[in-house]
Amino acid sequence: MTSSRGRRRLHHACLTCKRKKTRCPGEKPACSSCVRLKQPCSYPPARRPSQGGRSDERLAHLEEKLELILSGSLYMRLRRMRRSNRSIRQEQVIEEVADTSEKSYSASPPALEQNYPVSHPSTATFDSESSNLRPSPSDIAIGIGLYFKYCHRQPIWCFEREEVSDYGSISEELACSILALTSRFSETRDQAQLHGNIAKSLIMLRIANGTVDLPTIESLCLLAYSAFMDGNVHLGQFNLGLAFQLCRSAMLDLTSVYAIDGPITERKKRLFWSLQILEQSYGRQTGLLSVPTDIWRPSYSEVSPNGPPLPRDKLGCSSPSDTGVWNTSVHLGWVWSQVRKYVSDCSRNKLEEPWRYDSMYAKVLSDFMETENRIPMCHRYDSVKFYERKVEEVRMNRDYFAPWLKEQFTYHSIHTVLNHPFLYIVGAQHNPNLAIPNTFWRRSSELALLHSTWIVRMIDMVVDKQVPLVDPFFGHVAAIAATVHLYYCCAAATKLKHKSNTDFAKCRRFLKSFIPSSEACRELDRNLDKMTRIAAGSESMDVEDWMPSRIYLSVPLMWDILQFNSTTDTQEIPTAGLLDASLAPIIAQADLGESSTLEIIVATSPEITINTADGGQQAPTLSCKPPPSSSRESRNTVLDEPSVEQVDSLAFTTTPWLYADSSQLLNIEDMGGFDNSQPTIDESRGMGWWEDENFGNPMFDSF
């Protein structure tokens, strides 16, 4: 109604009132406003109605609005209107304010405001010299530099440096999308929303005109990642879903498309699997329209033989047949998506006995073992020896170490979440069989504690090597590990209490480091802070050594953290800057009262005994070890061997194989290269590795 009235009023206005942007009474032959000001008054010739009638008029109106967005006239008009209002008489100001919304939807702007060429949408392009909304080459250069510093292969991998080296050839929507993502890392972060809005308008224009190309879908990938970092999960999932639909239209999900090697074939592969990585970490797990995780099974599976191939990635590989480190993170990411589905089922009380061979737990664990068994030796922890690398070496080889760290964190987070004590404590309330103490309880508790400890160890190394990580996934993993250490803050063993308190603090500090660039991590930190205050109850947590006798775990907050249900505003995010208020979903507020908390006391804390002489990771058999000469020689092409011999206190200088079933653990005396006088763990005593006799082990000097 308002926009229609605005068009009629504009059509009836005289040319003088149009030029001055004032309300025209519309009298003819001369309006009273011009008569009062003694100005000439004339009207434009009447327009002939088109054959299409009202439909053609509405279509023309929509086209002109898009042209206004592209040319920058709409933005500049609003800006100039604010500036000119200061010099207009008070009565005109009142009229202008009352009519602002109507003028914003004008079908044609005043003549003086038409400073930029307007063409038909099907041929509309940016003129780099005349358009004020196309980023300048210097801005694009800064944005691309920030992208390769913070986002390249962490986790998305859309293009290489040489593919975007010519700033003038970069499409407008891709340039704006890059700046929308990277402005958070610069002093111009307040312009991120403007760049994002322009990029979205350009993308929609290409879709409407049928001119979608590869940079258009890449732009959606960048915008989706940016939305996830901002905690706008719904908008991120929309951008992701739209990108997948465009990939389907271009048949990028079929192997046949990649049969002929073209100039952008690898770029297509990188884009497709970058979208899949985002889906693995941030896709919705519930609802009829959610994407089933089984269809994304890795390419070595027979379930989906026609899937697109992974991109070529030879960084750090020791042989041509080795899978690249970024590709291995894709495989592990698929298992992580299965873990997220498992947690989602648990939150809806769909948990069966995990020890059953046909349980979801067993299926996920089987897929996990199959995936880790195919990861090349050259990417494993003991081969890379990340803890021995110099800071400068890590910085120079960031393209390798960024996805390698993602791989390591994903591995430990899978173990931690699958065996999280909270899942089975809550599950026991709905499944009586889970309330019976058994071997599974003991085993899962050991794995959760062990791998959450390893997450802290990885955090220590990231901090020590000064690696700039910005992917919210790392903050999510830190929050998950923090919940495990919070659980063990009330363990019976004093040493374990101290260790858990220290590790909990490290996880929180690491999570807080993501807050400047990610609103999603800010909300995660808030949830963790709320849960910590609830856990403390009446006890004070001001002291450094918080040693509670019991804790209270908030069930809703724990589910929010485990499922990464973090949004920046619970009242506004359901619309996601996308939906009308009439379509906004109604979300029930979580009950944070006493009935939604679990009381954990020392008596119910499981007694754990585990030999962590090998860090909870089995060493490979001799037949699995790669030949020292070939491996060392090939790896030198990308990564230099560690130049400084340092001691990894957690792993006794030679951390064993990372990817292995930790059920077969080695005694320290069985590990070569160590003094037999080193304290060992007496398994016959059944004591935990945190007990007084064992906790002094140099394995944990760094904690």
Of 178-192, 297-311, 361-375, 520-534, minimum mean pLDDT range? 297-311
Angle at 423 between CA 420 and CA 427, to 5 degrees: 150
Q: What is the pTM of this model?
A: 0.72
Tell whether the model's pLDDT for residue 127 goes beyond 60.
no
- Looking at residue 662, its pLDDT comes to 32
CA distance readout (Å), 20 to 47, 85, 110, 321, 602: 22, 11, 8, 71, 78
Dihedral pair phi/psi, residue 552, rounded to 5°: -120, 115
- Looking at residue 271, its pLDDT comes to 96
Q: pLDDT confidence of 64, banded at 50, 70, 90?
A: low
Tell whether the model's pLDDT for residue 88 goes beyond 90.
no
Arithmetic mean of pLDDT, 208-237: 95
Dist. CA 296–CA 579, nearest whole Å: 29
Q: pLDDT confidence of 585, banded at 50, 70, 90?
A: confident
pLDDT tens, position by position, 447-481 = 999 999 999 999 999 999 999 999 999 999 999 99
Token pair, residue 42, equals 């004339």
Dihedral pair phi/psi, residue 598, rounded to 5°: -110, 130
Query: Cβ atoms within 10 A of the Cβ of 429, count?
Result: 12
Q: pLDDT confidence of 62, banded at 50, 70, 90?
A: low
Q: What amino acid is encoded at 531 in this protein?
A: M
pLDDT tens, position by position, 528-556 = 999 998 988 765 555 455 666 778 889 99
Contact between 275 and 243 (Cβ < 8 Å): yes
- Looking at residue 597, its pLDDT comes to 84
Strands 597-601 and 550-554: antiparallel
Q: Mean pLDDT in the chain?
A: 74
Angle at 403 between CA 616 and CA 275, to 5 degrees: 120
Arithmetic mean of pLDDT, 369-384: 92
Of 38-52, 108-122, 225-239, 256-270, minimum mean pLDDT range? 108-122
Arithmetic mean of pLDDT, 7-21: 69
- Looking at residue 6, its pLDDT comes to 44
What is the secondary structure of 401-451 as a DSSP string?
A: HHHHHHHHHHHHHHHHHHT-HHHHHHHTTT-GGGGS--HHHHHHHHHHHHH
Arithmetic mean of pLDDT, 247-272: 91
Contact between 657 and 616 (Cβ < 8 Å): no
- Looking at residue 34, its pLDDT comes to 86
Of 83-87, 217-221, 329-333, minimum mean pLDDT range? 83-87
Contact between 278 and 240 (Cβ < 8 Å): yes
- Looking at residue 615, its pLDDT comes to 40
Who wins on pLDDT, 147 or 611? 147
The closest of 421, 545, 548 to 483, measured between CA atoms, is 421
What residues form DSSP beta bridges with 599?
Answer: 552
Highest mean pLDDT range out of 370-384, 399-413, 675-689? 399-413
Helix (H, G, I), strand (E, B) or coil at 551: strand
- Sequence-distant (6+) residues with CB within 8 A of 531 are 483, 486, 553, 554, 557, 558, 561
Token pair, residue 510, equals 């690491």
Who wins on pLDDT, 493 or 523? 523
- Looking at residue 428, its pLDDT comes to 87
Q: pLDDT confidence of 558, banded at 50, 70, 90?
A: very high
If residue 12 lies in a helix (H) or strand (E), which one and from where to where? helix 2-12
Tell whether the model's pLDDT for residue 698 goes beyond 50.
no
CA atoms within 13 A on the CB side of 460: 19
Helix (H, G, I), strand (E, B) or coil at 64: helix
What residues form DSSP beta bridges with 550?
Answer: 601
Q: What is the CA radius of gyration of the chain?
A: 30
